[in-house]
Amino acid sequence: MQRKSSNGRSELVFLPLGGAGEIGMNLNCYGYGPPDERAWIVVDCGVLFGRETSTPGVDLMMPDIRFLENVRQDLLGIVLTHGHEDHIGAVAHLWPKLRCPVYATPFTVQLVQHKLEEAGLESRLRVTPVPLGGKITLGPFSIEFISITHSIPEPNCLAIRTPAGTVLHTGDWKLDPDPQLGPVTNEPVLRGLGHEGVLAMVCDSTNVLVSGESGSEGEVKRALIGLIASLKGRVAVTAFASNVARLESIAEAARLANREVVLVGRAMRHMINSAREAGYLSDFPNTVDEEYAPEIPAENVLFLCTGSQGERRAALWRIAADEHPNVSLGEGDNVIFSSRIIPGNELEIFELQNRLAAKGVCVLTERDHFVHVSGHPARDELAAMYSWVKPKISVPVHGELRHLQEHARFARELQVPKAVVATNGQMLRLAPGDPEIIDETPSGRLHLDGRVLVHEEDGFARGRRSLSFAGFVGITLVLDRRRRLAAEPVFYMEGVPAAVEEMMRSAVSRALKEKSRGDLEEHVRIAARRAASDAWGKKPVVRVKLVEI
Ligand SMILES: [Zn+2]
Ligand SMILES: [Zn+2]
């Protein structure tokens, strides 16, 4: 795209590099100044988890930040809204390419600092803590943290004031009147911003397709107390470890039902420790160590487990597979999934639930019991937020394209004068003048493949996918000095039926006899692949190696 000229005047621009047009790995950039000397800040720096089927062998995916590397000298800082992986998970991986200050509220600092320690970066980067409701100034950006509610301690909206106007970056949010942990949404400050005048609101789109309200943690707590009190046998509850308020509700329900809490899974213990260090969970009961679990009578125990998404390495899967050293469940026991199904995880979760059911365990989920509420705003909450903030421009983020487009339509319905969808890599000018996409920057994904960070296009996931579908054939041809076959071709096959080898052998010897054979390796490769396809209906990955003697 041709860059539109600004005649050297200062502009305020918004550029999403992740999370706009996909779920996960949020990374948003704001720039202010004339095009060639803009100052930049980044809001959030998250990851998306790799999938066995589409990206085999890839643990994490994160945004391609080539653009930011190029403007690194003018990058003033990374500001984190809250501690979910899709907002902070890439800091430890991408920060070495950017090396700028990072700011967050104390609980988020705890979580990021732990990741930096794991990456051996703690001596190079100390995340700067900002108190709840605090303000920081980075060049032309004056940033105010505004408390809101979500599904993790300390979610923040950011009011970003610039000489060209104020942007409210909502981060992830909902309006929970009874969040159980932390303050309620700071509605007066948000309404105040509306009076002051807001140029643009960059807003969470996750649940724009959901009508009504998301519901409150307080209601879930009351429901869990009733449900857990009614259950006989052992009770295990799985929830997102980062939903600390939920963990506290579950522990309270356990206490009232005369059950001791056993934490099962590393992430669960880590999150509870982090929350305690940040000053939360002072009333959380003392928990029992896993090793002592077998000694507690069935009706007096509650296991709080990781693994609500069917993750194979997490506690609940290992329990279901009878592989857990200390915890086992069987006939008459119960597992409550106090969580939702993250799209894409359905098969794993249903397999886990079937394994539990096969053992005689009663599986309770949000489909049959009120055991979960979302952390994102449904339509009535979005409408309330727009009525308070009254932005001139709505910029939907944090969603797939269908969410962003519906959010833009909804914002127009709510009388927001302009609503613009900008997807990853599209630079949106917010001011001066009408909002407009003025540039396209490189975007895409980086794959963390083992310990190696590679661009998705240079990565190995695609190759591995073909291997998993149709296997591999290696053919070694030994040629003499006159390039005649000096021995029988050597075949090496992985994941290919043996019967296919005969067909490929005949095709290769026919190909070798043909007169004009040009690039011999390629000629043999194509012949072998075609033969496999005729015999088997599938085209394996074929590699041919010539050895001349
Ligand atoms: Zn979140
Ligand atoms: Zn998020």
Tens of pLDDT, residue by residue over 412-458, are 999 999 999 999 999 999 999 999 999 999 999 999 999 999 999 88
| pLDDT, average across residues 342-363 | 95
Which helix or strand (DSSP H or E) is residue 384 part of?
A: helix 379-389
Q: Are 327 and 264 in contact (CB under 8 A)?
A: yes
Tokens of 344: 């894409």
Q: Which amino acid is at 524?
A: V
Contacts with 43 (C-beta within 8 Å, 6 or more apart), sequence order? 27, 28, 29, 30, 78, 79, 80, 81, 158, 160, 169, 171
Q: Which amino acid type is present at position 416? A: V
Average pLDDT over residues 108-128: 97
Ligand at shortest distance from the CA of 151? 1
pLDDT tens digit sequence for 94-104: 999 999 999 99
How would residue 516 be classed by pLDDT, with cut points 50, 70 and 90? low
Give the number of the ligand closest to the Cα of residue 84.
1
Q: Does position 5 have pLDDT exceeding 70, yes or no? A: no
Ligand 2 centre to CA of 92 (Å) is 18
161-180 average pLDDT score: 98
Instruction: Residue 200: name the closest of 331, 44, 386 by CA.
Output: 386
> What is the DSSP track for 424-480?
TTEEEEEESSS-EEEEE----EEEEETTEEEEGGGSSHHHHHHHHHH-EEEEEEEE-
What is the number of the ligand closest to the CA of 204?
2
Average pLDDT, integer, range 477-487 = 86
Buried b (16+ CB within 10 A) or exposed e, 30-48: bbbbebeebbbbbbbbbbb
User: What is the average per-residue pLDDT within 259-278?
Assistant: 94
Helix (H, G, I), strand (E, B) or coil at 407: helix
The pLDDT > 70 percentage for the chain reads 98
* Distance of CA 261 from the midpoint of ligand 1 (Å): 26
Query: Distance between CA 537 and CA 530 in Å, rounded?
Result: 9
Ligand closest to CA 156: 1
In the predicted model, what is the mean pLDDT of the chain?
A: 95
**Rg (alpha carbons) of the chain, rounded to whole number:** 28
Query: Pairing relation of β-strands 20-21 and 399-400?
Result: parallel
Question: In angstroms, what is the span from residue 56 Cα to ligand 2's centroid?
Answer: 24
Whole-number pLDDT of residue 4: 58
448 with 60: CB under 8 angstroms?
Answer: yes
Cis, bond preceding 34 (omega within 30 deg of 0): no
Decide if 532 contacts 473 (C-beta within 8 A): yes
- At 3 the pLDDT is 56
Ligand 1 geometric centre to CA of 441 (Å): 26
User: How far, in Å, is the centroid of ligand 1 from the Cα of 14?
Assistant: 20
49 phi and psi angles, rounded to 5 deg: -85, 140
DSSP 93: H
CA of 108 to the centre of ligand 2 (A): 13
86 CA distance to ligand 1 middle (Å): 7
The number of the ligand nearest the C-alpha atom of 82 reads 1
H/E stretch holding 232 reads: none
Q: Retrieve residue 196's tokens.
A: 């002051």
Res 517: pLDDT = 59
Tell me the average pLDDT across 187-205: 98
Extended beta strands in 97-164, E state: 102-104, 128-129, 135-138, 141-147, 156-162
Name residue 397's beta-bridge partners.
204
Q: How far apart are CA 226 and CA 369, in angstroms?
A: 11
